[in-house]
Amino acid sequence: MTETSFGGYAAPAPRYTGTSASSVYIPMRDGVRLAAEVVLPKGLEAGARIPALLSQTRYWRARELRVPFKWFLTPEVLEPDFRDFQPFFTSHGYALVLLDVRGTGASFGAWPHPWAEDSVSDSAEAVDWIVAQPWSNGKVGGYGISYLGTTAELLAVPDHPAVKAVIPMFNHPDAFTDMSSWSDFDRNLDRNVVPEEFGFWGRLLLRGVKPVGGDRGRDLLRKAVREHASNGHAFSLGRPLDYRDSRTDGTDLTVEDVTVHRFKKEIASSRAISFGWGSWLDAGTADAVIRRFLTFDNAGRAAIGAWEHGGRFNASPYRSPDAPPSPTLKEQWSEMLRFFDENLKGDAQRIGSEKTLFYYTLGEEKWKATSVWPPEGTTLQRWYLAADGLLLPDGPGEEAGSDTYTVDFEAETGEFNRWWEMGAVVGKTVVYGDRSDAASHLLTYTSRPLARDVEITGYPVVTLYVTSTHEDAALFVYLEDVDESGRVFYATEGQLRALHRKVSTEASPYRLQVPYHSFREEDAMPLVPGEVAEISFGLQPTSVLIRKGHRIRIGIAGHDEGTFVRIPAEGTPVITVSRNRIHASCIDLPLLQRG
């Protein structure tokens, strides 16, 4: 592990000023036409050859403003933070190709479910079209955030020789463990209706997706939108399913059908190098980054920061929500540029050939880099739940000892927590304020003041011995930092439904550093009321510095109101947590030796 100036890369001087954009339809093998926005550097010389960056979206590749706003505004007025994104890359000699995936936006065809096989094949044909353009140098990179991040990751699957590098950002490769609800947002987009999530100004200014060919393309747009009526209702994947092999809405579709790891072999053998981005405070995207980094040799670069879902805002609970992100958005683009220049131009300052994961330590508010995960010098230290609400490094000596907790269904982590991902749409960030009041809704265990600084970097793993009055329960465990004044800082959390507590002996699709739960129906283990059950699971990974004099707090809950569904749907479980020599509930913390 070394400290690093991630975000400190000085991009070369821009070569071009301004952009030139045009809309086209790209025909696919079956005659389906996909809408694309092609953005080139303005003034590109005749005969010049430049690389292209492909972004594939199901959220409209380009938007159209209503009259009269379109006469004096551009759609970027609704996304000022990203207004300079396209000019930044075109100024450095890149073409941007923004594609509405099959069955969405102004594209024709149907969208049966997220990241369908047809869309993966479409991406290779889109690359064929790109490299056939007179301005192409024959090299293509992929990038995108969230859904678009997964399309970027899957761009490597066909192993097209032109695809050299991809940057999947803040994406969810495993729908069962990583995704939250989509609601009706996508459904409105597919009907060319401006969603409510775009806010008052969005609904006032926007007409919808940009037609190919401007006003002359409206008839084509209407025909394309009519074809979207047959889109699959995979939105139900965001609804609670009991098992990952459960069928959705009476179809043959399961969560396995939309996971990235179904293409694991193809990704592993791809010649494209990836640079995965995520955040400690954004759903499970940090976990996704680490799983990819550990599993694939060609996952050569990775970055985990303290951002919301997209990198526009700071999300560290140790800084004000109004503080700028670290690094700034333009500095993030510079790091993307360096990576693409290295792999699509070969003329950038290289970081080195070894795998590198950049990560940000909360509380210390510093960037670091490592070639392995967890970083060298990390050791697991076990802390035990003890009497009087203490968290101790020494195991219990008594034969008996337990605490009883009646699940409080009013326990919650706030409106803008890590699982809320609409920040990129409505311009808000993740906010975890002082959580000292949360203790009244939790069962908590707190250490004595620390004698030295403690850095927790990696995956905490909790093991609880519980008895419940019901056959099922949801267990939420929070890792928190309590300062000398009693203020409580959120660090990370993990949750597991007791029904899925079986630790599988099968091989996981990814290299994991936590117990593997299959979430399949064949591995279901309902609780037996009155019997002690061992429940062990990993928390979301983190890197946090807890200062000398602060205390470590573990909070246990049975619900997160407003974020997760209630389990069980009826009744109020009473959970007994054992903390004795026979059943020693504990948490293993990955501590990184400092100094």
Residue 184 annotated among the catalytic residues of the structure: no
How far apart are the C-alpha atoms of 43 and 159, rounded to whole Å? 32
pLDDT digits (tens, 9 = 90+) for 160-218: 999 999 999 999 877 666 544 455 678 889 999 998 888 888 899 999 999 999 889 99
The domain segmentation of the chain, as residue ranges, is 17-256, 378-592
User: Which of 282, 287, 481, 588 is the catalytic position?
Assistant: 282
Report the b/e string of 17-33 with b at 16+ CB within 10 A: eebeeebebbebeeebb
How far apart are the C-alpha atoms of 567 and 456, rounded to whole Å? 30
Residue 297 annotated among the catalytic residues of the structure: no
Torsions phi, psi of 283, nearest 5?
45, -130
Residues of the chain with pLDDT under 70: 1-4, 175-184, 233-240, 249-251, 347-352, 422-426, 595
pLDDT digits (tens, 9 = 90+) for 336-349: 999 999 999 976 55
The CATH number of the structural domain formed by 17-256 is: 3.40.50
Gyration radius of the chain over CA positions = 25
How far apart are the C-alpha atoms of 211 and 231, rounded to whole Å? 20
This prediction has a pTM of 0.95
Report the b/e string of 176-211 with b at 16+ CB within 10 A: bbbbbbbeebbebbbebebbeebeeebeebbbbbbb
Query: Which residue in this structure is represented by tokens 């069928």?
Result: 247
Q: What is the pLDDT of residue 233?
A: 60
First to last CA, the chain: 11
Residue 441 annotated among the catalytic residues of the structure: no
The CATH number of the structural domain formed by 378-592 is: 2.60.120.260
User: Which of 92, 160, 228, 309 is the catalytic position?
Assistant: 309
Torsions phi, psi of 37, nearest 5?
-105, 120
Q: What is the pLDDT of residue 421?
A: 74
Find residue 591's DSSP bridge partners.
379, 456
Query: DSSP class of residue 251?
Result: S
User: Which of 23, 91, 107, 146 is the catalytic position?
Assistant: 146
Find residue 222's DSSP bridge partners.
none
How are the residues of the chain apportioned to helix, strand and coil, as percentages rounded to the nearest 5?
25, 30, 50
